[in-house]
Every structure is written in C-alpha cells, then in structure tokens.
Structure 1
Amino acid sequence: MELGMFGIWSLAFTHGDPGEAADAAAEAEELGYETLWLGGDPGGNPRGDLVTVARMLDATRRAVVAPACVSVWDRPADQLARAYHALPPADRERLVIGLGVSHCEIVSTYRRPYTAMAGYLEELDSGVPPLPVSARLIGAHGPRMTRLAADRTLGVHPYLVDTEHVIRTRELLGDGPLLALEQTVVAHTDPAVARARARWTLSPYMSLANYRAAWLRSGFTEEDLAGGGSDRLIDALFLWGNTEDIAAGLAERLKAGADHIAVQIATESRGTFARSAWRELAGVLLAR
C-alpha cells in the first residue's frame, strides 16, 4: 500500500456535508495529495457499513482512503472485516483502516488496551476471509502498542506528537513498518493568533491520559501541560506560520523518520473543509 509522502487529514470528511466531502476529496486528489484521512467514525448506519469510505472511494480515482481511527470498542472485528470485503476489489486496493483503543475518559468499557488491541488483531486474522495486514495500521503512541503495530500491521499513525516522538517511534519500528504521522498546522503568521487557534484545537485532548503520557515521554513537564499548554508545547505539537514555514516544518518531520504526513489544517468547526489552505500548501509542498 503506497500512501505517498503527503495526505490530507480532515474531520469534515465525516462531519461535513456529504456532497461537499466528495467534491473536496476529488479536489485534494487533483492537487496531488495521495491519501485522504477520514477523522471520526467512518460508519454512518446501524449495520456499520463503511459508507463514508465508499463515498470517498467513489469520488476519487487513485488516492488511498484511510479512516483514521476505528475504535476497537465500537466496531466488532467480524463486522469490520465484512464491511471491508463488501467493497469492490479495486476499492479495497486503496483502503487502509486505522485502528485505535480510544481513551479511558471516553469509553466506559476501556480495559487493558494492549490486550484488547492484540485480541482484535487476532480476530481480524481469523476472519473468513481475514482483513489483510497490509490494510490496517494502529493509532499507537506508547512503545508496546508501537511494537505490536510493527509486528501485526502496516505500521502506526500517531496523532498530536512532536519531533522527538517521531524519532523515538522510528527507532522502535526499525526499517519497513510505516510511520504515517498526523500533523496539525495553523495557517497564520501572528504568533498570538496562531497559538490561540492551536490551544483551542488542543483543548479536547489535554485531559486525556494517553496523550499526556506521550507528551511527558517526549520531555515535557506537567507545567507545560497546564493552562492550555505552554508555548513550548504548542510550538512542538503544531506547525504555524506562512506556507513556506509550514512546508519547512513538514520536511523536518520527514527527516526525523516519518514516511508519510497526514496534514490537518486547524479549522473553526468539524464540518469545515480548509480547501484554500490545501491549495496554497500544495503549491509549495508538492512542488518540492
């Protein structure tokens, strides 16, 4: 599965208007982004069919479509495998499913996340037919889950992490497994405005233990995690500035060990497509 060097990550693909989502997906592909990352639940009906995924595949011709994080608590493995194999073979060739264990603060049944993920992968392997290893990755942040991803999936898709985390993850993965990094960017050059937007984007995650543990492993302190996040934390987790600044920051993430970067433009709502920012960034980023 070739994800290319850069993709677009957007909650609007699952939370925005379906018609605009299809049109935005087609434009992102034409701009040169090689993978479209769907934030949020890729389902859409009680049967758990991958309806949003299918819509994105229909709207595009060659881009990989990747639901960013399917919760192992919400979607039974056999149901997910059936939904995957219900898609036409040509569509399955450009579909990667991101798996995650969510957070204890959100899921009431959250228990032993590593064991739960390992068991979920076993169920996917034993399906008839199984969901291929090459069609799945894990939203891993900790070292044990990262090693599990390296052994049992295409690789990892870390979210809201700094360069040190990328370096550490690359060392854990070794050569071969995919490191598909989500990177949020704020298209603004004023430091106060950019950091305020970044803090607003970060606020839902600040109380989640899994993220806090990942940031502390990167050398941040409890003081950095207080009050919405220190400037040091914000500047490490987010890229902001003009298009050239952002492109340079993305190049640094690649140099640190990322194979692919899923670029998320910070927006004011879940349903907003940052299409103008996609175009501006493509003009510099993809030309390189």
Structure 2
Amino acid sequence: MARAAAPGEGGRLAGRPALPHDAAGFGEWAAMQLGRLGVWIPTDRLDAAALRALLRVVEGRGYGTLWYPESRGYESVALAGFLLANSERLVIGSSIANIYARDAFTARRALATLNGLHGGRFALGLGVSHIPMVEGLRGHRYDKPVPAMRAYLDGIRKAGDAPLEGPVLLAALGPLMLKLAAAESDGAVPYNVTPEHTAEAAAALGPGKVLAVEQKVCVETDKARARALGRKELARYMTLPNYVNNWLRLGFTEAELADGGSDRFIDAMVLSGDAATVQAGLRRHFEAGATHLCIQPVTEEGDTRHRDAMLDALAET
C-alpha cells in the first residue's frame, strides 16, 4: 500500500522494494504488468485439468492477468499458488480475497510468499464480501465495511516493517471505500459496474493508481439469448445489498432491478453483440479512466468452447 507522494517526487511511490515498477512509478508498472485486458473467471466451477486448460487459453491469447474470486469453493491463497505454478508470465489477481477468511498477518505473508516464489506475479485484491458469505457461511460478524477494511489494512501494515511485497487493491464501489482505496492501497477492483462508475472511481482514486474494472461480456448477436444468459449469471448478485445499493446510486431504479432486471440494466451489466460491438463497450471504460479491464465471458454452464471463442475474439493483437 502506498503512502502519499511527498512534494517533488512527481507521483512516484516511495518505500517499495526494488521492482521494475519502482523505477517508473506504480501506475506505469501496473499498466505494463497487468496489461490492458485481463480475464475474470469463476474458478470454483473448474477442476485442476480445466484450470490448466484455461491458463493455456488466457496466456496463449496474450491477456496480461487472470482474476478469480473467493466464494464457497477454492481457498484464495491455495488457488493462487496453483495458478501461478501452472502459468509462466500471467499476473494472477484475487478478485477478491475475503478479509474474513484470513487475518491481516496471514494476508501479508501470502502476498510475500506468492510473489517471492513466483517472480512477483501476484496482485492481492481484498474485499469485505457479503453478509451471507461472512455470517451465514463462516460464522463471523459482518462489521461496517469501511471501518472493517481500514482496520484490516492497518493490520497488514503492522505485520512487517519492510515495504509491502506486492500490490494491494480494494473491491471498492461506494465513495467511502473508494476514498479508502485512494489513501491506503494501490487502487481498486470494482465489480458489476458501468463506465459511469468507472469515471467516478478514476476521479476518486486520482493518478498513479490501478483501476481494474470487471466487465461481463457475451459475444452473441442473438440479443434475447444474450440477455437470458446475462440474467442467469446476474441472479446471484441481485439479492446482495452491496451491489443493489451501488446500482441504485448509478441511477437504476428499483423497478429496473426487479424480476431479473430490465433490458437496460442487463445490457449495461453484460456487453453483448458481435465482437466489434463488445469492444466498443469496453473502450468506454478505458475512456472513463480504467487502467485495466477484467473481462468475464458469460456462457451456458460448462460451455468452454463459447468462452474460449469469446476470449479469442476480444484479445488484443
């Protein structure tokens, strides 16, 4: 996590280990290492063989980063070790590691261990998750998100005297969490957002920060089919207050979020159409200030052929 730059430093982040990004400034390093495009995949659905196949596709198509969640299946740090061991150049990013799943000291040691053993290719994305995943599944008390994250970041800092061993990013949606991300981390990894949110997040974070935005995509010219796939994928999120409140802040109405979501809402959350149309939608995030996009292919369950075809079509050459 970076401190504010002192006068005369030109935005350079001080106090970091002597890695390539230290010389150029963290923003420049992140743009180079993460790449413009990464891939976000719900890895719990994949076994070891399928994960290896996915890594070959993502790495082979030239994407810079593979992002993965932490939900009810794989444990975040163990999975990161597997993904790093089975790839060569990809940055692997947690999006996100649940702060209630391990204490701050352990998170700090995970960051150091994974980057020490795998050439500095791990980005630690942290999030407060959701009440059902914290209280219902883990049996913890779900505290107020911003104070909980602030205390966790303080714990990470106190877990060692040396500079942090890699980037720390926050799952930030609302203005207070974005403010915390700007002050106490290397940037943000927003999920289920629009280019309008990206513009707000970029302004809140300021220069020299990572803004790695997740965007669902469906390269499918049959609009009815694309929307049906989108509604199925989004259903799990539409009961979670963190997302619902952010969508309302972004101007969607309660009516638009009812009954699976209006067409306008689904089209905003899942970019669909031919590859050129989807790419135009992705460019809106970059124009709004994103430094990196994590594209999430939306398909029928287990349809790796459609997933891989999308990754092929959207890869930058």
TM-score, normalised by the number of residues in structure 1 = 0.90
Which residue type is aligned with residue 245 of structure 2?
A
Going from structure 1 to structure 2, the CA distance change for 1:228 and 1:130 (only over 3 Å counts) comes to: farther
The 2-side partners of 1:126 and 1:257 are apart by: 32
Q: 2:46 aligns with which of 11, 16, 19?
A: 16
Going from structure 1 to structure 2, the CA distance change for 1:60 and 1:152 (only over 3 Å counts) comes to: same
Residue identity over aligned pairs, in percent, reads 36
1:179 counterpart residue number:
211
Q: How does 1:19-34 map to 2 (within 5 A)?
A: 19-34=49-64
How many equivalent residue pairs? 281
Q: How does 1:209-224 map to 2 (within 5 A)?
A: 209-224=241-256
The 2-side partners of 1:39 and 1:83 are apart by: 16
The 1-side partners of 2:304 and 2:154 are apart by: 38
1:151 aligns with 2:178: no
SS in structure 1 of the partner of residue 85 of structure 2: helix
Going from structure 1 to structure 2, the CA distance change for 1:212 and 1:88 (only over 3 Å counts) comes to: closer
Going from structure 1 to structure 2, the CA distance change for 1:281 and 1:55 (only over 3 Å counts) comes to: closer
Which residue type is aligned with residue 98 of structure 1?
G
Which residue type is aligned with residue 35 of structure 2?
G
The 2-side partners of 1:35 and 1:170 are apart by: 20
1:60 aligns with 2:60: no
SS in structure 1 of the partner of residue 150 of structure 2: helix
2:26 counterpart residue number:
none
2:13 counterpart residue number:
none
The 2-side partners of 1:176 and 1:10 are apart by: 27
Q: Which moved more, 1:78-87 or 1:120-129?
A: 78-87
The 2-side partners of 1:192 and 1:230 are apart by: 12
The 2-side partners of 1:156 and 1:116 are apart by: 16
Contact 1:42–1:51, Cα closer than 8 Å, also in 2: no
SS in structure 1 of the partner of residue 118 of structure 2: helix
1:204 aligns with 2:231: no
Shift of 1:267: 2.9
List per-residue Cα deviations over 1:243-274 (Å, max 9, x = no partner). 121112111211111110001001333xx474
Q: Which moved more, 1:142-151 or 1:260-269?
A: 260-269
List per-residue Cα deviations over 1:155-210 (Å, max 9, x = no partner). 11111111211111111112221110001112221111111111111111111111
The 1-side partners of 2:314 and 2:145 are apart by: 40
Q: 2:147 aligns with which of 101, 115, 120?
A: 115
2:111 counterpart residue number:
84
SS in structure 2 of the partner of residue 205 of structure 1: coil
Going from structure 1 to structure 2, the CA distance change for 1:43 and 1:232 (only over 3 Å counts) comes to: closer
SS in structure 1 of the partner of residue 134 of structure 2: coil
Shift of 1:61: 1.5
Which residue type is aligned with residue 224 of structure 1?
E
Shift of 1:146: 0.6
Q: Which moved more, 1:166-175 or 1:28-37?
A: 166-175
Question: What are structure 2's unaligned runs of at least 5 residues?
Answer: 1-29, 136-140
2:99 counterpart residue number:
72
List per-residue Cα deviations over 1:46-71 (Å, max 9, x = no partner). xx8x2211111112111100021111
SS in structure 2 of the partner of residue 232 of structure 1: helix
Contact 1:183–1:238, Cα closer than 8 Å, also in 2: yes
2:172 counterpart residue number:
140
Q: Which moved more, 1:144-153 or 1:15-24?
A: 15-24
Which residue type is aligned with residue 55 of structure 2?
A
- List structure 1 runs of 4+ shifted beyond 4 angstroms: 41-45
Going from structure 1 to structure 2, the CA distance change for 1:100 and 1:278 (only over 3 Å counts) comes to: same
The 2-side partners of 1:234 and 1:115 are apart by: 32
2:131 counterpart residue number:
104
Shift of 1:285: 3.8
Q: 1:6 aligns with which of 18, 37, 50?
A: 37
